[in-house]
Amino acid sequence: MRISTHQSQQVAIDAMLDQQKKLSTVQHQVATGQRIARPSDDPVAAARVLNLHDTLSTAEQHQENIAAARTRLTMEESVLENVTGIIQRVRELTVQANNDSLTPQDRGFVAEEIRQLNAELFNLANSTDSTGEFMFSGAKSKFRPFNHSAGNGFEYHGDDGQRFLLIGPERQIATGDSGTKVFRAIKDGNGEFAIFDSESNRGNAVISPGNSTGDFEDGHYAIVFSKKVNPDGSKEFSYKVTSENGEIIIPEGTPYKDGDAIIFKGVNTLIEGEPEEGDFFVVRPSENQDVFTTIERVVNALKGVNGNSSDHAGLHNEVNRALVGLDQALGNVLEVRATVGARLNALDGQEEINESYKLQIKQILSKVEDLDYGKAVSELNLKLTGLEASQKAFTRVQGISLFNYL
């Protein structure tokens, strides 16, 4: 087999170029610190690196979600703290105003302060977060949650949903609470039933909000009073209790004395003062009433007192209802604040878990794609020696020709 001069030189050149290529690859690895420059270097490892980078990117997104959730929940907790302070102040003023020694002017001053506090509470309910979205609109964060209705009431334009953020591979957390949960889903009365005095009452009887003696039997009941004046001027009072369908719960003529307890169907209440003939009170199951309406009713009650005993009785009855309603509202807000605090704690815990997880992924990633510098430098020297040998061999071979022997 004959080998031409050109063929011999081409083989030497190809060998030298191959050594240069291998040297270049090792040089690039040493320069970048990465073992894999392109997928063809190690297809299996390259695929694993890609998956690990995706996993790491997802974990970093979870951390960003945690930061966003923490910001929003911290703002909500701050707003709820202010809400708590306002409700407590309204309660203090309501107790202060429930005093017969106050003049109508004094009550007017108190009513105005309570009205201003209610307006401040209303503005807090329409708070926005750092992105300009409403905090208490539920999932409809672009909509203003609360507005005044045409009849001086309060309307809710949000929904009862919650927005969630993914903070872990299989864990998500609510970043807010709806206006219904915070300000509207509040039972009036004592939470089981509410007692109302009739606007037509002429006596000075004041009823307590009462409490349950067991399982309250849902229904509407009327406590109706009768009054008899004896020839000697003494007075006898009696009452009856009927249901909404006319059932007699407590028979007519049952004696009543100031401060006596009235107990029926799980209701335990008492009445102080003297009712007039036909005065009555209605007991019904508790219903949701927003905190703004509860406070507004106190304001109206304070402005409606003129000085007669029936007006004072109406005020005291409204105040009694308002106080338990404010207590219900306060308890509800504190419960929501507790859940917000629990979520903030959960964010802290998940953040630590995510950081630990990221560290593990980075360690695995380093083992897969990072270069072993000791081994790489040795290989670099080896490739360099090979290239030098190839170059010297080429120098020797390229000068050989048959013409030198002719």
Query: Residue 166: is its pLDDT beyond 70?
Result: yes
Is residue 366 included in any domain, yes or no?
no
338 assigned to some structural domain: yes
Q: Residue 28's pLDDT band (boundaries 50, 70, 90)? A: low
Least confident window among 121-125, 173-177, 383-387: 383-387
Identify the band that residue 81 occupies on the pLDDT scale cut at 50, 70 and 90. Answer: very high
Residue 258 lies in a domain: yes
If we measure between CA atoms, which residue out of 141, 128, 132, 139 comes closest to residue 75?
128
* Domain boundaries, position 227: 200-287
In a domain, 351, yes or no: yes
Structure tokens at 6: 């050109």
Q: Are residues 178 and 64 in the same domain?
A: yes
With a pLDDT cut of 90, the percent of the chain lying above it is 54
For residue 170, the domain's CATH number is 1.20.1330.10
Lowest mean pLDDT among 213-227, 284-298, 382-396: 382-396
Checking if the pLDDT of 41 tops 70, the result is: no
**Which one of 340, 357, 374 terminates a domain?**
357
15 in any annotated domain:
no
Distance (Å, rounded) from C-alpha 141 to C-alpha 133? 5
Predicted local confidence at residue 4, as pLDDT: 55
Residues 110 and 141 in one domain: yes
Q: Give the chain's domain count.
A: 2
Cα-based torsion angle of the residue sequence 357, 360, 362, 363 in order, rounded to the nearest 10 degrees = 170
Give residues with Cβ within 8 angstroms of 233, minimum separation 6. Answer: none
pLDDT at residue 3 tops 60:
no
Point out the domain boundary residue: 266, 287, 308: 287
Q: How far apart are CA 20 and CA 29, in angstroms?
A: 14
Question: What pLDDT sits at residue 406?
Answer: 52
Mean pLDDT across the stretch 162-179?
Answer: 92
Cα dihedral value 254, 260, 264, 266, nearest 10: 180
Q: What is the pLDDT of residues 355-390, one digit of tens each?
A: 998 998 888 876 766 554 456 555 555 656 665 566
